[in-house]
Chain A
Amino acid sequence: MTHAALVLEASTGYDERLLISRAKQGDRQAAKVLYDAHARRVHRLVFRICGDEEMARDLTQDTFVRIFQKLSTFRGDAAFSTWVHRIAVSVALNAIRKERRLKRTSEDLDVANELPAAPHTVEPDLRARLASAIAALPESCRVSVILHDIEGYTHVEIGQMLGIAEGTSKARLFDARTRLRKALSEFAKELER
């Protein structure tokens, strides 16, 4: 079977258990196929969380190093992709906390507040303002928005990833959306025209 076919199998979930089992035994090719199937989404996820290109590369690598080092502990209770993304989120959040890049968050908020209203170019401005407002959310709210509204995970999956109850995930998303609406309120009239 070709490498491309193996990647396709892994991305569709078919025979992924076999690949995981082989990777646990130190099979590099199986590990590479799993990497190819998940690396893009992991990279996109950590980039959306941290917003820094170089950091996202490092975090993606760190995530996969951790995945393969801990693979023996994966029992298959949750989907492999959920387990992978849980590690990615954990690695990203730990790194952000460690490097204290929260300063950037407050800077983003300042930028968002300074954006001028421009009636004839509402859409690009609105998009930029929304992006800044998401970046400026408190960490738990930001991660909820990114995982649910942007990455499309369900509350059950988010609960598994973050180790929280489904209801907590819903509550955080509600809080995040309320904050985003507030941040965007200056544009409300423009939007309703």
Chain B
Amino acid sequence: MSEERFNEMMHDAARTYRVPPEPDFEAMWLQVEREVFAEREARVLRFRSPSWQLFAAGIAAALVIGVGLGRLTSGATGDAPAAAVAVAPRTDSVTSMTRNGYDRAATELLGKTAVLLTTLPTEAQTVQGNIRFSTQALELLTTTRLLLDSPAATDGRFRELLEDLELVLAQVASLRPARAQGEIELITDALEERDMVPRIRSAVARLSSGDD
């Protein structure tokens, strides 16, 4: 084969060799944007999220009220034993308020997660739905981690539920439009295997009745 002919063939290959079909570049960008920027912002949100601020503000307010009450009682009687007595109710008050704040945040998380998981199979198929679900899952994931890290997370059964939720939410957060169908099926299977939705409902019921 002559050099000239071979070069002609290679020149032709530059036009014809594996010409790719046009993909959906916009959908691909949404995925890139989510992976790069949403995760970067989620890291910032962990320290700025309203639920975390609310939780911290609740604890701070409880401490201020407790300390104030203690000082008031101490000032009224003017002796050391009375001040010591004031410490006990203050601690109880803080614990109770922290508990209530934690339970409220947990109930809200479980409610939102239950809605997300039950609507996932039908509404996350489109690119936009897919993006919305994974963004929402990322936010819930942050709250789940905050609840798990909280000192108020003492109930073993509830912690186990949160850990399972964390895994499922992580799967939802990493959904990719191009593979959404298969991934959603895997998530749905995992939900059924782990009996997630009934466990969420029963946890909400326990939190509402104050048994937790």
Chain A interface residues (CB < 8 Å from chain B):
26, 28, 31-32, 35-36, 39-40, 43-44, 47-48, 51, 53-54, 56-58, 60-61, 64-65, 68-69, 126-127, 130-131, 134, 145-146, 149-152, 177, 180-181, 184-185, 187-188, 191-192
Given contacts A39-B28, A65-B35, A127-B12, contact A57 B178 (CB under 8 A): yes
Measured in the bound complex, the distance between the Cα atoms of B11 and A127 in whole Å is 11
Is B1 within 8 A of A192, CB to CB?
A: yes
Complex Cα distance, B20 from A39, in Å, reads 13
Chain B, Cβ-Cβ closest to A50: B18
- List residues of chain B with CB within 8 A of the CB of A61: 28, 31-32, 35, 176
Specify which chain A residues have a CB less than 8 angstroms from the CB of B1 in the assembled complex. Answer: 181, 184-185, 187-188, 191-192
Main secondary structure of the interface of A (DSSP, over half): helix
Q: Which residues of A contact B14 (CB under 8 A)?
A: 149-152
Say if the beta carbon of B37 comes within 8 Å of chain A.
yes
- A35–B178 contact, CB under 8 A? no
- Scoring B residues 6 to 37 as 1 if CB is less than 8 Å from chain A, else 0, what string do you get? 10011011101111110101001101110111
Chain A minimum-CB-distance residue to B12: A127
Q: How many angstroms between the C-alpha atoms of A134 and B37 in the bound complex? A: 38
Sorted from nearest, which 5 A-B pairs have the closest CB atoms?
A47-B20, A68-B36, A64-B32, A48-B18, A149-B10
Q: What are 21 A-B residue pairs whose CB atoms fall within 8 Å in the complex?
A: A31-B33, A31-B37, A39-B28, A43-B20, A47-B20, A57-B178, A61-B31, A64-B32, A65-B32, A65-B35, A65-B36, A126-B9, A127-B12, A127-B13, A134-B17, A146-B17, A152-B14, A180-B6, A181-B1, A181-B6, A184-B9
Besides the known contacts A28-B33, A47-B18, A64-B29, 5 further A-B residue pairs in the complex with CB atoms under 8 A apart: A32-B33, A126-B9, A127-B9, A127-B16, A192-B5
User: In this assembly, does B40 line the interface, its C-beta being within 8 Å of a C-beta of chain A?
Assistant: yes
C-alpha spacing A68/B39, complex, angstroms: 12
What is the interface size of chain B, counting residues whose CB is below 8 A from a CB of the partner?
28
CA of A9 to CA of B33, assembled, Å: 21
Complex partner residue of B23 from A48, A57, A69, A149, CB under 8 angstroms: A57
- Chain A residues with Cβ under 8 A from B16's Cβ? 127, 131
Q: Complex: how many Å from CA A6 to CA B35?
A: 23
In B28-59, the 8 Å CB interface with A consists of 28-29, 31-33, 35-37, 40
Partner among B6, B20, B33, B36 whose Cβ is within 8 Å of the Cβ of A56: B20
Which chain A residue has the least Cβ–Cβ distance from B36?
Answer: A68
Kindly state whether residue B2 has any CB partner on chain A within 8 Å.
yes
| In the bound complex, CA of A48 to CA of B14 (Å) | 10
Please measure, in the bound complex, the distance between the C-alpha atom of A149 and the C-alpha atom of B16, giving whole angstroms. Answer: 12
What is the bound-complex CA distance between A65 and B12, given in angstroms?
A: 33
Q: How far is the CB of A166 from chain B (nearest CB, A)?
A: 20
Chain B residues near A181 (CB, 8 Å)?
Answer: 1, 6
Across-interface contacts of B5 in A (CB, < 8 A): 191-192
